[in-house]
Amino acid sequence: HADIAMYQAKEKGRDNAQFFTSDMAVAVNKKFGFEGEVLEGLAADNFFLLLQPQVDIDNTKILGLEALIRWDNPSSGIISPAEFIPMAEESDLIISIDEWVIDAVLKQLKAWQDKGLPMVPISINLSGRHLISDGLLSYISQKLNQYNIDGQYLELEITEGVFLKDIERCIEVMADLKGLGVKTSVDDFGTGYSSLSYLKRLPLNTLKIDQSFVQECDLDKEDTKICETIIHLARNLELSIVAEGVETASQASTLKQLGCDVFQGYYYYKPMSIEKIEELLSARK
């Protein structure tokens, strides 16, 4: 769309010489350059996934894996999602990235199925824009078919913002996802525009306690209470709970006392390469 914007700006510029400023030209080019670079990178598979395990209460089982994207940019090296996801979320570019991730994850699950490795559900971070878009359901069901993967092995992590934006549409899509067996969770729970009424209405599976509450859950009284409240809320609504960003034994033991039973964080495992995950799954088979 950047070229259209450029064209429109030029058209207007005929009547108003100051409309298309050089600042705008730089901005448009930058955006066009970024989009083009991401799309090229996706086509060339210059992106890759790390997987971070989620473990049970005694760290004896791997209950799930979260897929976290990285960009191996030929000119600047490895780029973290914090640097390109927010910009991609400003346009439908994020949908292209999300689709690449969905495809990569299901392809990976298919490879594990074929190798006879234990099947572990993988969760994907899905942008709110994509959740309420028209194409999501058909894309996912087509990919589940293509790779012959059961929907129960796919979980979508969604942040709260989109629920506020279009709750009716979210309910509809999430019910359809449930029909495919695909699970959904609220990521970074408690940091967004939380509203208890949406929790009641959405067909959700899991709440992920945000790492900002986990960080000092063992030291800060307010954070302890917040974690306790989220855990009780999840239990009362019959939702699963995952604590993310667990870095110390003390945080883990506090969370266990509060009733949390699924854990993710550096204390257990950092996000790992596919090869390392395969070793781990084989060892635990």
Task: Compare residues 20 and 95 and give the one whose CB is closer to ligand C2E.
Answer: 95
Three-point CA angle 111, 112, 117, nearest 5°: 155
Stretch that binds ligand C2E, among 20-28, 135-143, 193-201, 241-249 (CB under 6 A): 241-249
Among 59, 83, 249, 266, which residue sits at the site for ligand C2E (rule: CB under 6 A)? 266
- Find the binder of ligand C2E among 245, 262, 263, 277 (CB under 6 A): 245
Is residue 98 at the binding interface for Mg ion, with CB under 5 A as the rule? no
Q: Which stretch binds Mg ion (CB under 5 A): 91-99, 132-140, 149-157, 257-265?
A: 149-157
Site string for ligand C2E, 122-161 (x = CB under 6 A): ---x-x-----------------------------x----
Of 31-39, 134-142, 225-233, 263-271, the window that binds ligand C2E (rule: CB under 6 A) is 263-271
Among 82, 114, 200, 283, interactor with ligand C2E by CB under 6 A = 82
- Residue (155 or 218) nearer to Mg ion, CB: 155
Rounded CA separation 127/139 (Å)? 15
Contact range with ligand C2E by CB under 6 A, out of 74-82, 131-139, 161-169, 198-206: 74-82
Q: How far is the CB of 192 from Mg ion (least distance, A)?
A: 10
Q: Applying CB under 6 A, which residues contact ligand C2E? A: 52, 67-69, 80-82, 85, 98, 101, 125, 127, 157, 187-188, 211, 244-247, 265-266, 271
Q: Applying CB under 5 A, which residues contact Mg ion? A: 125, 157, 187-188
